[in-house]
Structure formats: structure tokens, C-alpha cells
Structure 1
């Protein structure tokens, strides 16, 4: 069975996504009330369905439009609120497989990365709540997969179409949350860096890096053309998602207001907010110092909890994996290892720079996904029986920790008000 799947990467990605989707759907209706930031986004989606007036003006519309689509499809209930979050989480798992398969062309490494993504716990929790970050994670990982696909296009036409897809996905990411904006710039920087690296290795003039001729990556495509495709498509996609705002019954958007509204969102995004009990600094997220209880209360006849907490083996082990990837690159020029480490470092550095008055652990969501990629690549070079046993043992430990935390990830019935204490390793986890 596995031998057949090794030869069918698309089917493998589909099956991994399907398995994740089934897991995310189990008891999706619990809790049966709005939890944590669903209290902001589900009401905004309801208003958006009615096209009455603008609400939740500090964020673009796309994620709320997607939540509204789930409500329209399945009703104003927990399944309707969270349906498309589950689909985005499942697709994220498949996208991680696609990224790794394109990086190393190894089925087992790609599957391992997808499983780490499924077991890292943050994807599981965000796939079962109607918040923005699950959609952001999907569009970012899908854009990375599309960019890699474009790198190896057989001709200029295929490359341009795949670059347009990359721009589309990045634009959708920005339309979910402005935190995706730096990734658009990083896509362009990666293209220029890899082109410059190739011409340097070949001993060619630096100006050849932008040429469409004799290119190993993004073949038959001028660098300026590639940058324009990604940039213009992402911008057009972003603004297209504001279409419903032009049809509000009250305070409808006009074309003259579209650009000024972006400055209004910026002001709302950068305003000084009051302290929050779950706020935390960006440097603390990799250490899991302050996870977030999305829910802990009696519901449907039992105490239930939903804790956004990363899998300790994957999040802590992932930091070691990033260091290992950097060492691999330094010693052997391993490009995929540098790319994986760069994704994690860059995704975290964004939050060190962005002028936000408060930070929260869920901002680490894309970085946690990229850790799964780094882990898979860091474990890849281990050889021999000891290496194989270590890889297997680490994966089993990751899976076991996911099972251990599962009751407070999935809002399972607990045996009392103080039941949560069995999962509290540190005081900051309360």
C-alpha cells in the first residue's frame, strides 16, 4: 500500500488532508457556545450576511466572509461557525506535505512533516474555532507550496501562471490578516536571492540574476516580470475581497473611501490596548510560557476545556531542529534546510517588529507550522538503525503527547471543575 502511495504524491496529500478533516470534525459542536475570539468574528460574520453595516473594522473582510459562508451553509450553530476552519486546517496539513515533497522529493519526510503539523496541537485547536489565524495559516502555507511549484515550472508560461497563483494566495492571506504582508515581500526577496546565488555559483555577471535567459529556477521569466505578477495579483486579490462592503445598507463603502479605510485599519491595529490576562511577548511563544484557555466552563452537562497549547515535543524540539537546519546549510549548503529555518525565523521576527501593543500565543500559529517543516528536514539525515529508531521514537512521543492533551484540546467531558490541573505543568499554563 505504502509503495503505491510513494508514487502518487497528490493522492497522499489528499489522504492526509482527509484524515485530518475527519479528526477535526469529531465533536466539533463542543462547546456549543462562542469561545474566546469567536465572540468577535461570528457576530461580525452574522452582520456581514445581512449586509447591514460595517463591524470589526480593524481587520479585512475575508475570514469573516468565509465564516459567514459556513453559517449560510449549515446554519447559525457551532458547525456552521467552524466548518471552514476545519477545512482550512486539513488543507494546511496537505500543504505542508506539498512543501516538503517539493523541497526534498522524499515521501517519508513529507509525510512526517504533515503528521508533525497535525500533532503540533495548535493546528488542531485553530481548526476547531472560528478565528482568523487558521485561514491565515492555510493561505501562507499554500503560497509557499505554490512558490516552490513555480520555481520548477517547465516553461515561462507555466511559471507565470504558477506565480499568479502564488500572488492570489498571498493576497488572500493579507485579506485575512495584515500579518501576511511581510510574506509578500519575502516571496520577492527569495526569488532575487536564489537567482543571485545561481549566477554567483556559475560565475556569471550579477545582472544575469534578473534575466529570463539561462535560469535554473523560474525558467524563461524575467525577475521584474515575476515580481510584478506576484505583487499586482496579490494587491488586486486583496482589494477584491472588499466587494461586499460596497453593498452595506448603512455606511456602504465607496471607491473613494477604499484607500483611506486602509489607514483607518492601520490606526485601529496599532492603537494602545488595555492589558489582557493572556497577553505575552513574542520571545515567550517558542517556550510555551503562556498558552491560552479558549474555553473552560460547564457546557452540555459537563465541564469542558479548550487550551491552545503547542505540543511540547514538537515546539521545543522544533527549536533544536531549526538550529540543526542552519548547521546543515552552513556545512553543506543545504538550501531546503536554510529555507525551513528561514521561514520560522522570519515568521517570528515579524512579531518582534510589528508595532502591536499586545501579543498573544496564537500569533505563533504560522511559526508552529513552519517548525514542523524544520523538524522533518532536520530528522531526515539521521542514518542507520539508531537514527531510524530516534526518528520513530520522536514521532511516537509527539503522537503520545497529542493523545495526552487531547481532552483539553477537543472540549471532551472532564470530571470536575479542577480536572484541568492534571495537564498543568507550569504555573503560567493556568
Structure 2
């Protein structure tokens, strides 16, 4: 929690307005290209399989994200709108939940709104909100879970229902993509650490003290432990009825060993592969699309905003410093979440990695930058804080044509944005 005792006025109206603007901008050329591109070629057939015959395809990832796409196809048709509209909805949910989480953590009006601007113009959220991939569902559910957990600490009278909602969301996040599994443990471990630090004699059953008065450790273990695992497992129920190679009773654990083996077995070098150092320095991009399609040369580039990805690094260092020296727990928590979400990729047995694995860590990096800009503003340095936000928007506008598949003049048009060799 932040050092603030008296919160600013809740900016929920501005947050909602910013999310509406993000959604409307995401609708522009949402159906371009009109053909599947990048990893849509894997996930759309899997979604159609669930929808048409219950076929269980793309088994190296959990099923929920593809099931969500399948529902959208059933409602809106097997077309670009049906493929991609769920991603835009979840991208907007991600933006709203992330801002609400930072509001409850910091009680800073400026930091919450600044975070929304930085996150919306940070490139990764926008690009993944416009493509039928699994990452946006994972991040959306996890952001919602964080919002509910932090709000439960601020408003303990709503703690039970918020922790229950967080538990469901954590299970759904894991059922969308495994990248969030380690982070999904943090809320429960944080509850344990904070309750243990209170020195209660009845550690398991006491309902007094941080993080949520009125909730015992045993009850928290249900909401943040048992419920996520139950929800996650339930998303596999259709797999037991798949027409080919259904999931056998008693085979659930073995399935996960198989998934781990599939994830670690990809060792063939890829031209777009990168590592965690490349991600932090924003050195290696991925072209999701660059070809002549729908009557014009078009491109979709995944890279981080070249301004805020680098400014976020000293902001993370500041977050650790003020967290340890001034007990700014909001800043320290953001830095911890960044370290955990990035550290997983440093130690995990996945030889071939890509920049989109930095999606979650970069979300926490931008939260740290928002908190640092709020600190500058509070200390009277208003112009640098507003200048960074304005510059982030300006850079986003400049790159927007190759983030949104806009019509380009010709095949060599991409060179206008290639500031680094590794972006080609």
C-alpha cells in the first residue's frame, strides 16, 4: 500500500473514458487483414475444432482462450470480427483492470490515469488487442484478479467476494496460457506472508490483521488456492468428450507432463527469437504481418514503445529504492511483480523465446513509470511528468500505421520506422 492516508478523488470516470477511447481506436481496421495472420493460423483452427465437432486441437496450450474465440465465432460468424473482437474486449478489460489495480494500490489519481496512457500507448496491449492470440485473455484475467486482490485490502468489507472473484479469474488466466502460472501464486503467498508478519498466535484461523481483516488464512487458501485450481481444471471438461484422443479419466496430470515436454521440445532457431536482455533493451521486434493484403502493403509490428520501455528501467530501480527506504509498498510490489514475471523466462526450460513473452513484465514496468511520474509531479516537476505522457502518445501515433495494418505506400515503407537493426 502507498504512503497516502488520504486518497485523491477516484478517477473512475476518466478511467472509463480512456478505455472507451482505446476500444474505439482498436475497432479501426480490426478486420484487416481479412485473412488469418501470425499465430491466428494455429488458434483459429483450434477454435473451429471446439465449435464444429468438439475436436481438441493445439494441445500444447490450455483450452480456454480458444474456447472464447469459438464462442465469438458462433455469435459473430467465422470472419475477422468473430476472430478478433474478443481480443479487443479483453484488451479493454485489461486496461480498465490495470488502472483500477494501481488506483487501489496507490490512491494516486495522476498515477492511475498516467498508467492508462502509458499502457494504452505501450504498443503490446494495442497489438494483442487486435489479433486472435491467447496472451490477451491471460493478461486480462490476471489484471482483473490483481484489481480484486488490491481492492479487497483497501475495502475489507468487500474482501470475501473480491477474493472469490480473484480466485476465479486466476484460474481462468492459467486456463488461457501458462505464462501466468508463477504470478498466479503471488496473491496467495502474499496473503500468507502478511498474515504471518502480524504475529498472530492462531495463524491459520485468525481473522485479524493484514492483508484483509475478516478473512482467515484458511479461507484465503480456498479463494486463492483451491478455487483457481478447480476453475482451471474445469476448463478441460470438454476435452474428456473430444471425438479423437479424448482426455482419459486419471490422465489430467500426465497431460501436463506432455504439455511441458511439448513446450521445451521446440529448439529449432527462429529468425524472430530473442531473450530477456533483448526485451528489456527493446532490441528485437516481431513482424506479425508484412505483406500485400487487402489491396495494399500492410504491416503489424510487435515491439515496445521505444521511449517508455527504456524510461521504465530507471523507474523500476526507483521503485525498489523507495519501497525499501520509504516503505512505498505500492512501488515495491510493482517491482516485485516485474522481477517474478521476467525472472520466470530467465530460468524456464523454453529454449526458443519471443518478445511477446515480455507482455506481462512490460505491464509492470509501465506501472513503475507511472508511479515515478506521479512522484515527480508531487515534487513540483510537473512538466517532465506531462512531457513523458505526451511523448508516449506522440511515439504511438507515429508508429500507429505499422501497429494497425494501415495502407503503406510500398514494400520498402517499413524502413521509416526501423530505428534499430533488430527491428527489421
TM-score bracket, shorter-length normalisation? over 0.9
Q: Secondary structure of the residue that 1:295 maps to in structure 2?
A: strand
Q: Once the two structures are superposed, what CA deviation does each residue of 1:88-125 show, in whole Å capped at 9, x if it has no partner?
A: 11111101110111012122221111111100011000
* 1:223 maps onto 2:247 in alignment: no
Q: In structure 2, do the counterparts of structure 1 residues 206 and 52 end up closer, same or farther at CA, with 3 Å as the change threshold?
A: closer
Shift of 1:134: 1.0
Moved more, 365-374 or 81-90: 365-374
Aligned CA RMSD, in angstroms, stands at: 1.8
Q: Secondary structure of the residue that 1:297 maps to in structure 2?
A: strand
* 1:381 maps onto 2:393 in alignment: no
Structure 2 match to 1:195 = 195
Shift of 1:320: 1.2
Q: Secondary structure of the residue that 1:283 maps to in structure 2?
A: helix
Q: Note the 1:331-350 alignment, pairs <5 A.
A: 331-350=325-344
Q: How far apart, CA to CA, are the structure 2 residues paired with 1:322 and 1:195?
A: 27
Q: Note the 1:78-117 alignment, pairs <5 A.
A: 78-117=80-119
Q: Note the 1:323-402 alignment, pairs <5 A.
A: 323-383=317-377, 387-402=381-396
Shift of 1:192: 2.4
Q: How far apart, CA to CA, are the structure 2 residues paired with 1:127 and 1:327?
A: 33
Gaps of at least 5 residues in structure 1 are: 1-5, 200-204
Q: Secondary structure of the residue that 1:65 maps to in structure 2?
A: helix
Structure 1 match to 2:416 = 422
Structure 2 match to 1:184 = 184
Q: How far apart, CA to CA, are the structure 1 residues paired with 2:380 and 2:285?
A: 34
Asked if the contact 1:192/1:209 (under 8 Å) is kept, the reply is: no
Q: Note the 1:30-429 alignment, pairs <5 A.
A: 30-155=32-157, 158-197=158-197, 199=198, 205=199, 207=201, 210=204, 212-383=206-377, 387-429=381-423
Q: Once the two structures are superposed, what CA deviation does each residue of 1:274-295 show, in whole Å capped at 9, x if it has no partner?
A: 1111111122111111110000
Q: In structure 2, do the counterparts of structure 1 residues 418 and 252 end up closer, same or farther at CA, with 3 Å as the change threshold?
A: same
Q: How far apart, CA to CA, are the structure 2 residues paired with 1:35 and 1:11?
A: 36
Gaps of at least 5 residues in structure 2 are: 1-7
With structure 1 as the length reference, what TM-score do the two structures score? Answer: 0.92
Shift of 1:406: 0.4
Structure 1 match to 2:15 = 13
Asked if the contact 1:195/1:210 (under 8 Å) is kept, the reply is: no
Q: How far apart, CA to CA, are the structure 2 residues paired with 1:209 and 1:375?
A: 36
Asked if the contact 2:47/2:67 (under 8 Å) is kept, the reply is: yes
Q: In structure 2, do the counterparts of structure 1 residues 195 and 412 end up closer, same or farther at CA, with 3 Å as the change threshold?
A: same
Q: In structure 2, do the counterparts of structure 1 residues 209 and 378 end up closer, same or farther at CA, with 3 Å as the change threshold?
A: farther
Q: Once the two structures are superposed, what CA deviation does each residue of 1:191-221 show, in whole Å capped at 9, x if it has no partner?
A: 2233344x2xxxxx46566552431421022
Number of aligned residue pairs: 417
Structure 2 match to 1:3 = none
* 1:26 maps onto 2:28 in alignment: yes
Q: In structure 2, do the counterparts of structure 1 residues 240 and 10 end up closer, same or farther at CA, with 3 Å as the change threshold?
A: farther
